[in-house]
Chains A and B, each alone.
Chain A
């Protein structure tokens, strides 16, 4: 229930800012949850890059003598801070490699689906007519198969490698972006600045790339941050089922799956990777959530 004055004040404020997306980012940055998420996320990135060598232990070296060592504080010692698995491999080191793989797959696939999806959506929304109809029906069809089902089917039947996994995730994930980009485009192409560019004589490609894209893509990209977390979960699920990146490369999913057999006597084998994954997802989600909320608030015109 903002009064008339308050709402005009806030729109004026918005207009005075550099650009919509910069405003969103600064607004998000001001929130505690964004900062918490940011620090968790970047802390973990640093850890996953530098961690294994810092720890001084190899993630793949096994020794039967050291198997099932519990973490420090539960009867373990400092040579393997978070314990070892059934083959005596260092769990922390393995989980960090798992995190690195999950991040690579999550980020690359989201970038891919963002690029493919927004391009298709923008074209559909801008061009209209039968092209739009066709593209949107394909999008609908693709969307009618849940991501995970498509991924399980394809990867279960072919040989999963990091590249195929990323391709499958892109294939499964682009329609959501196409949908969003199209609906934003539908309202955007009626805006006066687009009309203005047309009147000046700008070509359609120029209008799309130079005028519209810089305006509509950043807010969509903000929400894509949340998808990185989703894709990381899917990567873990695929590993768990056994159709993710194949051993010996450690992934969250495979470590957790290994651990299920030893739940009773070595609970830490599933707990360590599970917790590390949950914490990193929390970081990403807090960040992405803050960006999304900043965007929604701005679009609602509340400050």
Chain B
């Protein structure tokens, strides 16, 4: 970087306080930073580190109860805090643009996106003609690779996917060619492949538009992919500023070292990173759950025809077996059908066709008493720790509820069991009488686990159970799960989007795409020698700082999954597959065995894809 040129943005000793009824709390504490023209400065911090407050402060957007108490924010030497409102407003649209983490709520839901971007353009550049404005917007939509830009100009926000909407917001920000773009956690709500696409796009645009970018994220892997320099924010203080490589190789501050060490790793196993050892692969283990050709279709309204209905094919012919003691991970991006599958497996819904055999009995058709009895054997743990337990019952009563439902126990027996299971999951017994008031997310999730465990299930389905928790809590609960597995021989089904976690705890992995399992294999095979291009694309997109066996440049294509209503014949991944060839358009590949216990649904599974790049880190046996 040309450090001698004058920076376009200088922040000096910025302090922001949260005014509460009690003492004010510092959210930002004397933060200083410089952004030079054409530079990408990364800001990294956990939730609560003040990074969102910082990025909003840079566009002078600090609303009560927050208050900027001291410091200055100089844009080309002019202090934003002292600027008249009028001037600030024109500066915002024209010179400093801001994109937030939730693109779906950033625009008026009732007006077409093109019109809203034009509205902004015209208010920032009053002289511009309607025609010129429209042209410019469509041109910029093209630049972010919005398919059919001219047509989508007239579409409404709700007609875009999250990823496409984030592109719209990028257009909105860049259409006036600002000097500085504040990108506040813009990839956070997106699926990994989409996030990776956006990141790649932003990098290219940065080169074209020569805009300085302040890239804020909580993932080091994300910042690593785009930034020149990185500012580390912890507890409202800037603790370290370094080049991006320096942060990884020679972190100075203790917090940064901790951050780098705790980075979830997939290929280079950190010594303490791995929690459960893969289950023994002996062949004669009992099959506890057998899913046979299960499908589920949802009917929705079709707006293009009178009284029309259309069919969303959420789960399409899924089959797999789970052995006792296994930990199977089911991964995939949003809309892949994994949550529909979890509803079927936990028998919240019945499949349209196919069988789900739990210990040999078909739960798809079982009813009444028999079903109730079988239910004790498999339980589901849900994602939201706040909504999944009732607020009006005491904790002991919540955990006792399943025993009351299933009946047959005396009051004393129930009390005994509840106490036992509470201590097992690590809830102190004197909590039994109190309401779940003020329990932390982690403790609430323990109540959830206790409630399921009190039935002594053999199979636990974890539907994104840990994704609402922070790293530390996650790790603690994973340890708990492992202990329960050792003691009771429980089988786990992890339904998750978190590849890092699946890598650590599952011995087998199923990858879903468009309602179907495209690959089902052991942990090692999945991550090091995957047989399906989609798995490889997923892995290439994971924000990581490691050397990875799959390069995004080879595997990550543009585009999003086709909608599950009209699925074209042939391989359903072919619209995004870099290796698609003629046969893929006509013949739908079946899940076929590649090796012992490894399956993939691709014509090239046997060979024909580039070999994995050998991982640089230590592989383990």
Contacts and interface: CB of A to CB of B under 8 A. Distances in A.
A and B in contact, CB less than 8 Å: yes
Interface of A: 1-6, 9, 15-20, 191-193, 195-203, 206, 211, 214-215
A203 to B, nearest CB: 8
8 contacts: A3-B53, A4-B52, A4-B56, A192-B387, A196-B380, A196-B388, A201-B402, A215-B391
A201 B375 contact: yes
A15 B401 CA distance: 22
B391 A202 contact: no
Task: Identify which of B18, B53, B347, B392 gathers the most chain A CB atoms within 10 Å of its CB.
Answer: B392
B382 A196 contact: yes
Interface in B381-440: 382-384, 386-392, 401-402, 405-406, 435, 437-438
Interface in B159-181: none
A16 B388 contact: no
A201 B346 CA distance: 11
B62 A3 contact: yes
Contact of B437 (A18, A191, A206): A18
A4 B100 CA distance: 11
Contacts of A192: 382-384, 387-388
A20 B392 CA distance: 9
B440 to A, nearest CB: 10
A6 B64 CA distance: 8
B231 interface: no
Interface string B437-469: 110000000001001100100000000000000
B386 A196 contact: no
A172 to B, nearest CB: 32
Nearest to A16: B438
Contacts of B280: none
A208 to B, nearest CB: 13
Contacts of B65: 3, 5-6
A294 to B, nearest CB: 17
A191 B384 CA distance: 10
Given A191-B387, A193-B387, A3 B66 contact: yes
Given A5-B53, A200-B451, A201-B372, A19 B391 contact: yes
A1 B63 contact: yes
B393 to A, nearest CB: 9
B348 interface: yes
Contacts of A4: 52-53, 56
Given A3-B63, A16-B437, A202-B401, 6 more contacts: A3-B53, A3-B62, A3-B64, A3-B65, A3-B66, A201-B376
B104 interface: no
Given A193-B387, A199-B348, A5 B437 contact: no
Which of A20, A192, A202 has the largest number of chain B CB atoms within 10 A? A192
A236 to B, nearest CB: 38
Interface of B: 18, 20, 27, 52-53, 56, 62-66, 346-348, 371-372, 375-376, 379-380, 382-384, 386-392, 401-402, 405-406, 435, 437-438, 448, 451-452, 455
Contacts of B437: 16-18
Nearest to B66: A3
What DSSP secondary structure best describes chain B's contact surface?
loop
Given A3-B62, A192-B382, A199-B346, A215 B405 contact: no
Contacts, number: 87
Contacts of B438: 16
A211 B52 CA distance: 38
A84 B593 CA distance: 99
A18 B437 CA distance: 6
Given A4-B52, A5-B53, A15-B386, A198 B405 contact: no
A15 B444 CA distance: 12
A215 to B, nearest CB: 7
Nearest to B20: A9
Contact of A193 (B20, B64, B346, B388): B388
A153 B594 CA distance: 79
Nearest to B382: A192
A8 to B, nearest CB: 9
A196 B382 CA distance: 7
A16 B448 CA distance: 18
Contacts of B371: 201
Given A201-B375, A201-B376, A215 B402 contact: no
Contact of A200 (B27, B53, B402): B402
Contacts of A214: 390, 392
Contacts of B435: 18-19
A180 B43 CA distance: 47
Contacts of B62: 3
A303 to B, nearest CB: 11
A241 B616 CA distance: 91
A201 B384 contact: no
Nearest to A214: B392
A199 B461 CA distance: 11
A201 B373 CA distance: 9
B13 to A, nearest CB: 20
Contacts of A198: 348
B405 A5 contact: no
Nearest to B435: A18
Contacts of B392: 19, 214-215
Contact of A215 (B66, B390, B452): B390
A197 to B, nearest CB: 8
A197 B390 CA distance: 10
B383 A200 contact: no
Given A5-B18, A206-B405, A20 B63 contact: no
A1 B402 CA distance: 43
Given A192-B383, A192-B388, A201-B372, A5 B401 contact: no
A20 B375 contact: no
Contact of B455 (A200, A202, A203, A215): A200
Contacts of B387: 191-193
Given A198-B348, A206-B405, A193 B390 contact: yes
A174 to B, nearest CB: 26
B372 A20 contact: no
8 A-B pairs closest in CB distance: A192-B388, A200-B402, A192-B387, A201-B375, A192-B382, A199-B380, A1-B63, A196-B388
Nearest to B441: A15
A200 B388 CA distance: 12
Contacts of B375: 199-201
Contacts of B382: 192, 195-196
